[in-house]
Amino acid sequence: MNEKTLDFIEPDTSVKVLKVAGQKSSRKRILDMGLTPGTRVDVVRRAPLGDPVEFKLKGYNLSLRKREAETVLVEIVE
């Protein structure tokens, strides 16, 4: 299987969200921001110091710290 957590994905890669785990409050927020299962997410870039990471989904740009990205389970799509 190609399952990985979102913090491991290199920039310029597209993934599909499988599940959001993690702490209650941040999980809810991540879901509210549109990272629902099935959503396609493009990893855009990392910040100059390596963290946080910028993503593109649903036509807008979102940034998460690696700590939060770690809670999102994804699979790589072609």
Partner 1 sequence: MTEKITVALAGNPNVGKTSIFNAITGSKQHVGNWPGVTVERKMGKRVHNDLEMEIVDLPGTYSLTAYSLDEIIARDFIIEEKPDIVVQVVDATNLERNLYLTTQLMELGVNLIIALNMTDLSLAKGDRIDADKMQEFLEVPVVSTIGSKGNGIEGLLDEITKEFHRPQETDNVFTYDDAIEKISQDLESVLESDPFFIHYPSRWFSLKLLEGDENIIRKAKESDSYHGIEKILNKVDAELLEAKIADQRYKTIQTMLRQVCNINTCSLSGSDMVDRVVTNKYLGIPVFLSLMWAAFEVTFTFATPFMNMIDIFFGRLAEAVTNVISVPWLASLVGEGMIAGVGSVLIFLPNILLLFFMISLMEDSGYMARAAFIMDKLMSRIGLHGKSFIPLVMGFGCNVPAIMATRTIEDTRDRLITILITPFMSCGARLPVYVLLAGAFFGRDAGVVIFSLYALGILIAVVSAKLMRGTVLRGEDTPFIMELPSYRVPTLKGSAIHMWERGRIYLKKAGTIILIGVVGVWLLASMPAPGSNAVFASDAVYGTTQSVIGVIGQFMEPLVAPLGFDWKIAVALLFGVVAKEIVVGSMGVLYGAGENEDNLSQILAAGAMTPLAGLGLMVFTLLYAPCFACIGVIKRETGSWKWTMFQLLYGTSLAWIFAFIVYQAGSRMGLLV
Q: Provide the 8-state DSSP code for 8.
A: G
Binding status of residue 15 toward partner 1 by CB under 8 A: no
Backbone torsions φ then ψ of 21, nearest 5 degrees: -105, -145
Check if the beta carbon of residue 17 is closer than 8 Å to that of residue 37.
Answer: yes
Is residue 6 a contact residue for partner 1 (CB under 8 A)?
A: no
Select the residue interacting with partner 1 from 2, 3, 28, 77 (CB under 8 A).
28
If the CB atoms of residues 8 and 58 are measured against partner 1, the closer one turns out to be: 58
* Single-letter code of the amino acid located at 71: T
Minimum CB–partner distance for residue 17 and partner 1 (Å): 10
